[in-house]
Structure 1
């Protein structure tokens, strides 16, 4: 790392880069041949704004420089590098180097060592103590180095004894020094009008050559390359090199069919290791066409087959190449149970069957188990459900009693478009595809889009709107498996910004009541994709999905007795940009922050989150159905994920309560809730809560959210269950709670009349005024899962 900046009338602007390159070249020449060190290209431009007054200076801000260094380190981390030496030759950026080194440790687990050649090179016998203390820029030391490395670039006739201000300050006995224990902010011309500090006229090439010879990077490189710091803490020996298990050749996929007792034929693709041998079966049942095979988020079936599994991807009844009529989830228990028994007897199978898949394919795993338990037939030997529903009604169709409008319409249009494709209806396919990608909300009743009524047949949408308890009894795994022996090992996969997170946690909690070991992995992701960029945040390379490798490690452990894959609960810490391990789902005693304001939390965003209830007060929140408050990010936003909602918080129909600035790192992990005392004359209303992380630059990034529909309010506070999270907060950040009476179009606008929002014409909606009350008698509060 270098800089391009003035070095006085006698030296070029490339001094820092030239000295850096010369010292590093000498260090590399002295390294042993077997030292596993790679030299990266120099980054020549640094933070040099203290030299802005002089032509020829190029400078980056400290924010841009830190991002450049971090992203460069992330690139080499992806290539397998875990130790990094940062060789810096510019005195204006050690602080940036220290911050970057710490960030690389926190985000990537890397050992990053910051090294400035001038600070550790022994020079007592080469240059005077005064010069070492005051000659900090373009003086005797740097000029000597340049005379040794590039004498043709030095104009010694212009060199002088540039005595800096620091000499006079030292004589006066002051504590302040440009570089020392008590420093101060300075520009180069503050120290000397020329921008140089030090006796350049006394420089010579002999001492410069000796300086280059003594520079330490060769020793630092050797130490860094042969040392290792663990991801958790402490020093550990370099692990021995172990050969990876060889991958198996994979045969071309074959189509296999299962004829059910009622004569319906189900089609499946089978991917298997080539050659002799028996292997466990890995089964997925899905409704989107088996060629897709959940590759939206998971590795291709061939990847799993190469690792010793016979992978079966089956079209469910009425979808893809399978016969019969499709009815959402209705046949998955009986059909899934029959498929488990059939898969166990496939050629090459060793009789064991594990299931995997994401979203709908997670629910088919639960229902297949329910069917097997009911019929007393083959049950799965392990399950790997990812981002699926458990109760279906309360973790998929509805949230807090409110029907998920945009999400459910988008999904039913997608399912309807696939049905139109199968029957060859091009017009319906086009209309439903367009509606799925951007539902027009211009109809008299938002929950009844015209495209769905005109083009979709045999769908579940109005059944879900009808909310018949008998429906949920038939299709919900939570009800089908209630009271059953859930003795099946499971790896449950979720995402903090996935709208089905509550389903993932509900299934995990239920299976934890059984005797079989359960594992939980929650990443930072939305429903898809599972990458490092989630919404507007780049969460670094650790956020890239580990689910496929974790799945194989889990199955190898459960089915083959291989080594334990580590802690049973792994949660991605969004603040730390890394994974945190737990022995179980964290459930700390909630820490409360109480709402307080001067009555202007909505109109002036002046609400506060405080440690104890204050004086009685309230904030009036006015909801206008003509301009309902939207959603920014989170599981229901468009787009979803970690989005900046600062502009949304400026609306007068959003009440904002900010917590104190964080003074020391604070980790949150677990479920979040808000309890709000509300007074209103409306017969019904909605309340939407968002917890966001406010950065020092003003961005308010959505962390989690919750929604509640209130028709007949019980006495006491409204309790909004928000989604779980894991996030470490750092100094300078703060938390924010935002409350609003709508979350459009994620949920239908509440008309305020007590009638169902999904069937009420928009013109009947009323203005709703909510009085959000707080204080000792009505202690509205935010409940946080604070660890430690």
Structure 2
């Protein structure tokens, strides 16, 4: 099948009279075919081809492919308000597509990031002709892991995204002056990240993207966020889903939560029994074996189109796979191989405590910070000073969405590990390979002189030649230590226990490598600079900045420790490994 019929700018009426426009790609024959739907705010003519094959490729595989501009974007009518209309608009589009004269009335959806979110929002309403979805790189909650993480504002992700989204709105309004202004902010993005207060953006951003200020006006997880979050609606999802995540993607923990949540709570047996998780070593985009400064080998190459084709062939054409896929399939970094498991985390993953130690001070790689399995006895605490005007920069990591603009992927951490405001704890070289698969958690005992502050932790793989590549990271705003729905001031000088998630990973640390924990109080511009005061992120200015002296304890009474999800030898044998 080589010829494809293309229909451009087909009007799709919504229930409120707004018309959304779509391009349709279909095989040039008289047969009927099932539908693949991609709904995007990023231009239907692009069709997310940075990561996926062109829609004509899918059409040649026997599908009617519909790519639609979402409301208020590019060719479609209406006003763009992120996520507000996507559930009903998705439902209406699915049911419209199922009635086209040349289709089999079965619809599957694909797309990543925002285009993954719109799939979930439509699925929750249970449109009758939606059969399956394939959401990529999307989280479970509009607040946690997207706009904020444990109270810290996702600065680089949101500001860069807003600048991009506002450009199309400026074009639609014919404001060439605003288009040029937004372009200048893009060109000087690092300076833009330093603008304060955050709640007073430039006029172009304020007029074109008013939702940005609303996000800042709601710094705790309140009712405002619930309508945009999936995790409260797992019980309404009635379709199979192929979940795609990346170990360096900002949404990876939410992707795993979606997989587990629908698997446990889905509205139908077919939904609960047919959730599948695939995690690559990738960041948000583009998808490749080359991520940041590392090459994960040929097994990490982008073969998503073949994977999705098999998925849609199964559910939309009834072509059963030669063998049933495992519910969880994940790329193990380090060995650069694929692993399969019946769930996540895989069976045999056990929490193992690695304790923080130092005999003098752990400040920087010049210090004597250590990680070991030995419990601490009588040790002096480590002290560092954090001031937001000299925040520790983020090198790589789990931001999003464009590596040229935001800190993403694995990068050598030595340039920040030379700083005294970074505590560095390193294990002895490993005597044998060590497998990790699951969530990494830091149990931290610390005190601060501030009424509020941040703690940032990073797990690092130290190579024998000294290179140190980040694996996972996490942040916790101290005032959110007891939950995301309220803030509580920190009693200055009081030792408190914090639990800080660094998120999930799967890696085989090689013999001769070492495990390292970096601990500090900023990860800029991935997250906003904390002023060390109990103040809304949007209101803080340089005049609000105060110094925080942070004391980290690791003794018998306050045994700070890093909990690593280790795979023991007996678990490997259960997988059939030598």
TM exceeding 0.5 = yes
Contact 2:151–2:477 (CA under 8 A) maintained in structure 1:
yes
Separation in structure 1 between the aligned mates of residue 184 and residue 114 of structure 2, nearest angstrom: 22
Match of 1:278 in 2: 32
Which of 610, 622, 625 aligns to 2:372? It is: 610
1:640 Cα deviation from its structure 2 partner: 1.3
Match of 1:594 in 2: 355
Equivalent residue of 2:457, what SS?
A: strand
Equivalent residue of 1:408, what SS?
A: helix
1:463 Cα deviation from its structure 2 partner: 1.0
Which of 622, 628, 639 aligns to 2:391? It is: 628
Which of 501, 505, 528 aligns to 1:725? It is: 505
Matched, 1:490 2:248: no
Match of 1:690 in 2: 458
Contact 1:519–1:568 (CA under 8 A) maintained in structure 2:
yes
Match of 2:319 in 1: 561
Residues 653 and 523 (structure 1 numbering): CA distance in 2 closer, same or farther, change over 3 Å? same
Contact 1:573–1:726 (CA under 8 A) maintained in structure 2:
yes
TM-score, normalised relative to structure 2: 0.89
More deviation, 698-707/338-347: 338-347
Contact 2:199–2:213 (CA under 8 A) maintained in structure 1:
no
Match of 1:58 in 2: none
Which of 533, 537, 540 aligns to 1:753? It is: 533
Map of 1:47-58 to 2, 5 A cutoff?
Answer: none
1:354 Cα deviation from its structure 2 partner: 0.6
Contact 2:142–2:226 (CA under 8 A) maintained in structure 1:
no
Contact 1:432–1:455 (CA under 8 A) maintained in structure 2:
no
Which of 212, 224, 234 aligns to 1:471? It is: 224
* 1:212-242 alpha-carbon deviations (Å, 9 max, x no partner): xxxxxxxxxxxxxxxxxxxxxxxxxxxxxxx
Match of 1:28 in 2: none
Match of 1:161 in 2: none
Match of 2:566 in 1: 786
More deviation, 649-658/554-563: 554-563
Which of 164, 167, 175 aligns to 1:425? It is: 175
Which of 531, 535, 552 aligns to 2:309? It is: 552
Structure with the higher strand share, 1 or 2:
2
Match of 2:54 in 1: 300
Which of 142, 148, 156 aligns to 1:398? It is: 148
Separation in structure 2 between the aligned mates of residue 450 and residue 317 of structure 1, nearest angstrom: 24
* 1:425-463 alpha-carbon deviations (Å, 9 max, x no partner): 222112213324533248762524643556642431111
Larger radius of gyration, structure 1 or 2? 1
* 1:727-751 alpha-carbon deviations (Å, 9 max, x no partner): 1111110110000111112222211
Which of 12, 15, 29 aligns to 1:258? It is: 12
Separation in structure 2 between the aligned mates of residue 290 and residue 456 of structure 1, nearest angstrom: 24
Contact 1:748–1:758 (CA under 8 A) maintained in structure 2:
no
Match of 1:238 in 2: none
Matched, 1:741 2:521: yes
Matched, 1:342 2:81: no
* 1:611-662 alpha-carbon deviations (Å, 9 max, x no partner): 1321233100211222111111111384410100012111000000002211
Separation in structure 2 between the aligned mates of residue 390 and residue 446 of structure 1, nearest angstrom: 29
Separation in structure 1 between the aligned mates of residue 14 and residue 523 of structure 2, nearest angstrom: 45
Larger RCO (CA within 8 A; separation ≥ 6):
2
Match of 1:681 in 2: 449
Match of 2:184 in 1: 434
Separation in structure 1 between the aligned mates of residue 19 and residue 195 of structure 2, nearest angstrom: 43
Residues 759 and 369 (structure 1 numbering): CA distance in 2 closer, same or farther, change over 3 Å? same
Contact 2:163–2:205 (CA under 8 A) maintained in structure 1:
no
Separation in structure 2 between the aligned mates of residue 570 and residue 305 of structure 1, nearest angstrom: 27
Match of 2:335 in 1: 576
Which of 22, 26, 40 aligns to 1:268? It is: 22
Contact 2:281–2:331 (CA under 8 A) maintained in structure 1:
yes
Equivalent pairs, count? 536
1:291 Cα deviation from its structure 2 partner: 0.6
Matched, 1:358 2:112: yes
Matched, 1:642 2:422: no
1:327 Cα deviation from its structure 2 partner: 0.9
Separation in structure 2 between the aligned mates of residue 506 and residue 571 of structure 1, nearest angstrom: 15
Which of 415, 433, 445 aligns to 2:196? It is: 445
Equivalent residue of 1:749, what SS?
A: coil
1:273 Cα deviation from its structure 2 partner: 1.4
1:474 Cα deviation from its structure 2 partner: 2.5
1:578 Cα deviation from its structure 2 partner: 2.2
Equivalent residue of 1:504, what SS?
A: helix
* 1:280-335 alpha-carbon deviations (Å, 9 max, x no partner): 10111111111111112111111111111111111111111111111110001111
Match of 1:534 in 2: 291
Contact 1:282–1:310 (CA under 8 A) maintained in structure 2:
yes
TM-score, normalised relative to structure 1: 0.66
Equivalent residue of 1:786, what SS?
A: strand
1:505 Cα deviation from its structure 2 partner: 1.6
Separation in structure 2 between the aligned mates of residue 488 and residue 454 of structure 1, nearest angstrom: 38
Residues 397 and 437 (structure 1 numbering): CA distance in 2 closer, same or farther, change over 3 Å? farther
Contact 1:392–1:503 (CA under 8 A) maintained in structure 2:
no
Equivalent residue of 2:226, what SS?
A: helix
Contact 1:648–1:654 (CA under 8 A) maintained in structure 2:
yes
Residues 390 and 701 (structure 1 numbering): CA distance in 2 closer, same or farther, change over 3 Å? same
Contact 1:413–1:436 (CA under 8 A) maintained in structure 2:
yes
* 1:495-538 alpha-carbon deviations (Å, 9 max, x no partner): 11111212212211211113321111111111101011100112
Which of 443, 456, 459 aligns to 2:210? It is: 459
1:349 Cα deviation from its structure 2 partner: 1.2
Residues 332 and 534 (structure 1 numbering): CA distance in 2 closer, same or farther, change over 3 Å? same
Equivalent residue of 1:251, what SS?
A: strand
Structure with the higher helix share, 1 or 2:
1
User: What do you get for the CA RMSD once the two structures are aligned?
Assistant: 2.0
